[in-house]
Amino acid sequence: MLTKLPAVPVSASPPPGLLGPVADRLHSAAIHLLRALRREDARLGIGPAKLSALSVLVFGGAHSISALAAAEQVRVPTMSRLVAALERDGLATRTPDPRDGRASLVRATASGRSALRRGRARRVAELAHRLAALPPAELEVLRRAGDLIERVATARAAT
């Protein structure tokens, strides 16, 4: 179950000029692309929720269950069940937190890191296969667009 996210003000009209249509098109394209590539994850035999939590552990390091739940925007009991499943599958391990004897830290195992790398390699290979049909000039446009999308994705929202 997802935790309640803060309300985002929605204006009655789209942003002026190109902002609205560009944002709408990028949003739609990103969703379609991720859905298409996510099909490769099914071949790993690891569900999307477990893969997502595993990704946080592989790229973000050890987390407490509550921190992992916050990162994944789920409740602690939900994350506890996910972590138990990751442990059963040999993808993660729980160890006592040296700073707090009452808590534990969850870490990806070598098998978990390997599974995540395989999944990423499959998605990248599928995307490369799809990109192979494009001419070099369009590939260059996408390369530059990738830089811009990453910059937008990592920028803090104006508050």
Residue 148 is predicted with a pLDDT of 93
Residue 9 is predicted with a pLDDT of 53
- Ordered by where they begin, the domains of the chain are 42-153 (1.10.10.10)
Residue 83 has pLDDT above 70, yes or no: yes
| Distances 155 to 8, 134, 159 between C-alpha atoms, Å | 17, 29, 12
Radius of gyration of the chain (CA): 19
DSSP string across 67-104 = HHHHHHTB-HHHHHHHHHHHHHTTSEEEEEETTEEEEE
| Overall residue count recorded for the chain in this entry | 159
* Contact present, 103 and 118 (Cβ < 8 Å): no
Residue 159 has pLDDT above 60, yes or no: no
This prediction's pTM: 0.73
The first and second tokens of residue 41, run together, are: 């994850």
Residues 6+ away with beta carbon under 8 Å from 39: 126
Using pLDDT thresholds of 50, 70 and 90, give the confidence band for residue 5. Answer: very low
Residues 6+ away with beta carbon under 8 Å from 11: none
